[in-house]
Amino acid sequence: MTSSSSTLIQSLANQGVEVIFSLSGNQIMPLYDACIDAKIRIIHTRHEGAAVYMAEAYAQMTGKIGVALVTAGPGLLNAVSALYSAACSETPLLLISGDAATNLDGRGAFQELDQISVTSPITKFSVRPTHCDDILPALDTAMSTAIGGTPGPVHLAMPFDFLSTPNVATPLSTISYAKPIGLSKPQLDKLLKVLSAARQPIVITGPQSNHSRQPVACETLSKQLGMPLICLESARGLADTFYGNFPDILSASDLIILMGKRGDYATGLLAPGFIASTTPVIAILTDDQPAPIHDSISINIMRVGAISVAMHDLAGVAPSVDPMWAAQIQKMITSRKPWVASGRRRHPAAVANSLQAAMRTASRPILIADGGEFCQWIQAGCTPKTRIINGPSGAIGGGICYAIGASIACPDATIFLTMGDGTAGFYLAEFNTAVRNGCSIVALIGNDYCWNAEVQIQIDTYGADRVYGCDLDSTANYADAAAGLGAHVATVEPGDDLDLVLKTAMAQDGPACLNILIDSYAAPKFVPLKL
């Protein structure tokens, strides 16, 4: 007779789970043991939050459900911030946590915590089985919920007394996934009618339907329409530098279609002035997505089962737009003014230029961009085919974790990671995880000795003489720290040849960390263009 741990883990293996990201702990060791027989690889991390970030990136790169495993109490709480990030990025993820034994509920057991009350607000489904017989039904519901409708994280808390309990249940061979449903014929007919009448339409997608996660759907729809799709997947919304002057063209549009994007105020999309009150807006949303938040704009909502299917459906009937309009959109999102270095160290735009050149020489480059001003320069200057950014949550510091998750998912890829010196400090120890797992990562730390985003706020709001509490030590050497964790490293001074340093870093086995001394600049702003 097998244990509940073996039954649970073998059920995951039967669903194609090959990797679990985890930090060990007392309450989950039976699950570790079960992974041996199920032949599931454990990527052992240095922090529970890192495990969830890695699972998020793995899911985005593979299209599968990412799985993270953490222990009880503080272990679960350490994972919560990253869990929120996965919720905002609409990433299918299963978090399994150990929990105190049920026979000790309310008695002050080791690391006892009402986990469900913590995770329910930021997950699609969160449950603690009350009996061993409930484990497999809970897993079935969790996994089908994670991937159905709007994808997102789910949570399964496993009481310790259940994990070693003999269980006669047969591991799940299938999960009861619902067949994804796209646009109905009446919906398609309406979309065809409004698109045919429009002269200057714009299609905006959400994070679940970006070019990296849904490359076929995005490419097919974009090619059919004859114009670029815009994905609002950044916490900066319309200020995301990846799309240049795109906000300037919104007011000229005579039709806006939101594909899986609420159009909330966080993006600025529905703020006064960006869209004319007379412009028709159609929001194609999954059944479980909240309606858009708006005051004065009329929004027609169409409900579907899956956005990716709806995109393919629309691509089958959509008419091509006016080529001149498509060219105007392309001009807006790609236009960049030349930035001239004027500081003592290296301009972040120069780093972006070198990185873009390096990515062109890599066979399968993937860009990971963390938060902060430096990474906004990177996103303005680099146009990778595949990327992961810090997403709508605005969480910072998870970059190295995303890079490891992407590398595990795509071992033949070269992962380029950009971080500021502030964000680098969150999970710096995970460079050791990258070393242990042979991850091909080239990390570029833009080091300007400060929390630059906050410095820029202080300068703009209070004046340059009121910058306070946001400086970082210029003597801190992140290359030395990464070297101590086993990475290939280099500190890049202003006069050094960054192109050559990047070439050397790309030739290394395992991760490389470059500590690049840069000047502090606010995120780039673009000169408004005339249509």
Render pLDDT for 81-105 as a digit per residue (tens, 0 to 9): 999 999 999 999 999 999 988 887 7
Residue 384 and residue 315: Cα distance in Å, rounded?
24
On whether both 287 and 408 belong to a single domain, the answer is no
Higher pLDDT, 228 or 473: 228
Please say if the pLDDT value at position 247 is more than 90: no
**pLDDT band (50, 70, 90) for residue 341:** low
- Domain check: are 269 and 356 in the same one? no
Same domain, 365 and 300: no
Same domain, 81 and 209: no
CATH code assigned at 219: 3.40.50.1220
Residue 152 and residue 229 in one domain:
no
In this structure, the answer to whether residues 211 and 265 fall within a common structural domain is: yes
Q: Is residue 526 part of a domain?
A: no
Contacts of 513 (CB under 8 A, 6+ apart): 431, 443, 445, 478, 479, 482, 483, 487, 488, 489, 490
In a domain, 340, yes or no: no
pTM of the model: 0.95
The domain total for the chain is 3
- Give percent above pLDDT 70 in the chain: 95
Q: Lowest mean pLDDT: which of 191-195, 250-254, 384-388, 440-444?
A: 250-254
Q: Is the pLDDT of residue 256 over 70?
A: yes
Is 491 found in the same domain as 354? yes
Compute the mean pLDDT over every residue in the chain, rounded to the nearest whole number.
91
Predicted pLDDT of residue 325 = 95
Whether 516 shows a pLDDT value over 80: the answer reads yes
Answer yes or no: are the C-beta atoms of 84 and 392 closer than 8 Å: no
Q: What is the predicted pLDDT for the residue at 265?
A: 67
Query: What pLDDT, on a 0 to 100 scale, did the predictor assign at position 168?
Result: 74
- Same domain? 490 vs 368: yes
Is residue 136, in this structure, part of any structural domain at all?
A: yes
Whether residues 304 and 425 share a domain: the answer is no
C-alpha dihedral (115, 118, 124, 125), degrees to nearest 10 = 20
CA dihedral 297, 302, 303, 309 (to 10 degrees): -120
Q: Is residue 525 part of a domain?
A: no
Same domain, 330 and 367: no
| Claim to verify: residue 231 and residue 276 sit in the same structural domain | yes
pLDDT of residue 278: 80
CATH of the domain at 426: 3.40.50.970
Q: Is residue 175 included in any domain, yes or no?
A: no
The residue segments making up the domain with residue 194 are 185-334
Per-residue pLDDT reduced to its tens digit, 131-181 = 999 999 999 999 999 999 999 999 999 999 999 888 878 998 988 888 889
Q: What is the pLDDT of residue 274?
A: 73
pLDDT of residue 530: 56
Would you state the torsion angle of the CA atoms of residues 76, 82, 83, 87, taken in this order, to the nearest 10 degrees? 170
Q: How confident is the model at residue 58 (pLDDT cuts 50, 70, 90)?
A: very high
Q: What is the pLDDT of residues 259-312, one digit of tens each?
A: 998 776 666 776 766 777 788 899 999 998 888 766 667 788 999 999 999 999
Of 167, 200, 231, the last residue of a domain is 167
Q: Last residue of some domain: 302, 334, 366?
A: 334
Q: Which of 279, 308, 334 is the last residue of a domain?
A: 334
Quick check: is 212 in a domain?
yes
At residue 508, the pLDDT reads 92
Query: For residue 176, is it within any domain?
Result: no
Cα–Cα separations (whole angstroms), residue 69 to 50, 79, 227, 446, 463: 11, 10, 42, 32, 46
Assess if residue 202 is contained within a domain. yes
Average confidence (pLDDT) over 14-19:
96
pLDDT: which is higher, 112 or 415: 415
pLDDT of residue 528: 58
Same domain, 94 and 116: yes
